[in-house]
Structure 1
Amino acid sequence: MHIPSCCADRTCRSTWFPYTKMKIPEIISVSGLTKLKNSFSVLHAVDGTDSSLVSQEREEKELVGDGEDFSGVVPEGYSLPPWGNVMAQQESYSAIESSIETSTIPQNDMVSLDETRVHFLEETDEGELSRRILVLSRSNRTRSAMELFRSMEYSGLRPNAHACNSLISCLVRCKQLDNAMRVFEFMKTNEIASGHTFSLILKAVADIQGCDSALGMFAELGGFARGKNDFDAIVYNTMLSVCARANKWVETTRIWRSMKENGHRGTEITYSLLVSIFVRCGQNKLAVDAYREMVQDGLKARQDTMQTTIEACSKHGKWDMALDIFQNMLNQGWKPNLIACNALLNALGKAREVKLAFQVFKTVKSIGYAPDSYTWNALLGGLYRANKHAEALQLFESLNREHNSQLNERLYNSALMSCRKLGLWDNALQVLWQFEASGQPVPTASYNLVIGACKVARKPEVALQVYEHMVHQKCTPDSSTYLSLIRVCTSASLWAEAEKILDVAPKASLYNIVIHGMCFRGKVESAKKLYLKMRRAGLYPDGKSRALMLQHFQSDLCETSMPDSL
């Protein structure tokens, strides 16, 4: 047999093979698929004149190297299948992977299932063919990998689970979900699907079609059913991660419950995901329950999980648990972040554990954190709730001297609340002027606190001046503002000022307060006039105002001026 001279060149050795005939089924191309027919003699290879496949073959040769399975002459018009010489040269997996790392996914390698062709396989060893699928998948050769997979399937050969998982991963990377589902169905049918397989396909469905589609598929596969399934903890963790991205805490709870019902123990990742999802969705009780279950199972929490749980405990009122977690972190040499420290201080402040709060505050400074506005607000709030108003004002004055730039609305209002409790109207005015001088917008609530301090100190004139200043500053009064002013005027018998406020804010509740005050102080005639004015404005008195008026109005006046319905 004559061998072309080009075969002397090593680069041509994998392009030629002996021209040998044998009795095998004919391969006929129909709609892009190559089918077998038992009546003709053909060569060991099929028609492969497609330019894209030839081009792909050359790329794969450069990636994998020349093979040694074929040598000799090939008749004109025939070429090897694109995966014909993969893994022929016995390279180690480390060498293959190093060459794949620099490769990119070819843009023209997208292939649908209908376009995948079936080839006759000279090699029938399932292990060898599985290794070829593995290498093609790692190098993102989706067309070649799928053709080899379909050819094995058509020939009754079965790739191993490792090769199929690698192929699914490759198809997912190349956004070929339909082909990935085809391989997945093959693995399910042949009972070689593993937990890794389910994780790959569920994550792919979530990435491409969304969380709801992945949850639907998870349910169809028996994820929420009681009983034995092929899932492991990794599959459940995958679904928890999918739900975390969509903030679906209800579905997360169902997956968590199903995982326990099917006898699977959670891992550190499981509980880290649970705590993170529940805290982000405001379900702090569930986050605390998940952390407790993790500790009961003997698992060691990660640093980020412990910090997040401290936040959950703070919002759920479990300050003692938050303090224990904080101390455990310090014992393990971990440094809780400032957010967790502030959450703990806030929890202690809400529980009026002021002494413990300042001990933690010293620890926070000792580990190198500079207190911020949240730190100071937690401490001021704790002092206020513990009725230590004088100490709260002392701390505020210290902040005003040393950390003036950190003062914000909440800190100013905390100081004003203490001033109101103590009736220190002059201190309240001083804090208000400092607030206005800071350049920050002063809200209505801050002026209301100053008016309240004047009310406690029995300074009605000052309260009215604060109200006028408030209007001059173009700050709109609210219902609390008018209510405080009416009560201030009523307690000081400033009826003219009270009626002026009623003209600005004609509300039935305010009229009732003034009418009550007038009647109790003997201003019955003024109360009658105000009552009639209220009725003419279409406002309805409460039961107490009506009872008082019935005592003082004449019977005929009551019948003509007050409807029977009242």
Structure 2
Amino acid sequence: MALYRILLRSLRRSSPLSPTISAYSSTSSCCTDSLLHHQQQQLNHNFISVRSFAFSSAEEAAAERRRRKRRLRIEPPLHALRRDPSAPRPRPDPNAPRLPDSTSALVGPRLNLHNRVQSLVRAGDLDGASATARHAVFSNTRPTVFTCNAIMAAMYRAGRHDDAIALFTFFFKQSNIVPNIVSYNVLINTHCDAGRVDTGIEIYHHILANAPFSPSPVTYRHLTKGLVDAGRISDAIDFLREMLNKGHGADSLVYNILIGGFLNLGNLERANELFDELRERCLVYDGVVHATFMDWYWKQEKDTEAMESYRNLLDRQFKMSPVTCNTLLEVLLKYDKKAEASALFHQMLDNHTPPNFQAVNSDTFNIMVNECFRLGKISEAIEVFRKAGTQPKSKPFAMDAAGYNNIMGKFCEHGLVSEAEKLFGEMSTKSVIPDMNSYRILIDSYLKEDRMDDVVQFFNKMVVESGLRYNVTYCNKVLDELVKKGKVEEAAEILGRMGERDVKPAATHYEIVISALCKEGKLDKGRDLLGQMVRNGIVSPPTLRDFVSETFEKEGRKDEVDRLFAMRVGPVAGMPPRYSPAPRNFAGMPPSSPLSRTVGGMQPSSPMPQTFGGMQPSSPAPPTVADRLPSSPAPSTEGQVAAGFRY
């Protein structure tokens, strides 16, 4: 800065003497100005870098303060938006509509309940899943709307429409759980499939009038499909227009349903008009529409038009989902277009680049594997099952249990149980957990081939070792087959281990095995299982009670089972028993401990009677559960396992 001032003073004192000197001085002044400008920029740069948090003047600092104040008035800090914790909560509006559960409600015990219901659904025990969800309504852990929707959808998929409607009434009308749009969609779909389309339309109008949300495109899919199936395609067109007028986008599947309806009526012109309208509204649409046209063309024996529609879809180079491609594969294989189906399958494998894009799923492999088995090409089916993409970025598909179950079932259908066993063993090496269907496929094959030892082994794995929730009806079937084939003791041993699990066996399981043990004269094992049944709080059926009483009475041992039937031990059926710990005194020692008999090193002269509130008991204590148990020798290790004893 000092150099800059010195140069300025020297320039001010200088005066022009001659033109030459003037020219020289002007030239030198230009050079000096450029030098001074460069030095000034360097000085300013150094000044800014050193004083990065200051202002060049007081006015600039004041302007910055005013700007910050204005910003705080417009955008207050987060702590200013929070409610004062000491202030009283505002009273909720009683007229505000209740909203359905969000996904944040699916945590803790409610998530455990949801997983338990889903496990029963996957095991095929829909009645057990329904009972679990219904009972939870009256407990502290009420089911979320997602749990209710899961069991309703499972009932719908099983074709139990009346049960699905009854569950909707129970959960959302009687139990005061708020439904979401998925709940209404399942209900509408159920009514439409049952032929009650008008009821589905009434539910749709109820959503518009009362629900705090709008119908979704899935709602219009169900309604249009129901109307088309009922022969009311003009009403379905009205719902399409209403969907578009309400601001929903052009849904490809709604258009596809209407196009399929017009094609089935032979109105190709109207179907093409809807297809052109879809392409005008959507640059990218679902390729399933082309599959609908292809199927109709091949039914009319118009191979050229069908292949032209397929090539038109491929030329657009859409990134199609696995569901769309699977539909195309099914149509191509249905009309013996194996080369095109194989090319599409390999293209899907090449496009499979997870996690960026999922191009295939287990259904894709199931379609191709089933086609190989249909043609008798079993070795080729294995190759297809293990195929992967050839592109550098493509990755092999991580097969799930559904894919393994499909090919294992096909092997068992063709009598190749050993191949199915190899695939079952491979599942553990691929980190795939077998489900109930995996075990059922092999157990059914063993029963068919009368391999009862293998049945015992896999049935024990399924109900004891795997930790899966088993299907009660299927377990009854297997236990009954074991009893018929002379494997009563093995069935009793497995049933005893099942009784040690958290989810207890059903009363029908005990009835099958205990009745068989009594018929064979193995009363001790039958009594042990009956004791386990009572301890687990499972109510014995009247038929079992009468049969066991009659059998033991013939042997002169009726008192043993009468005392068991008179016991009231354990919680309700289906829940694990709760065992109370041994009673302890104030010193924390069990009564049987030698140290508990002394207090402060003194030995009491006589046992002190127990009192309650300082009062002596007027009558002796009632006999305990152990006193009422029938006297019998201690069972062996095998008997303890079979009877389910806990130590």
- Which TM-score band (shorter chain)? 0.3 to 0.5
Higher relative contact order (CA 8 A, sep 6+): 2
| TM-score normalised by L of structure 2 | 0.35
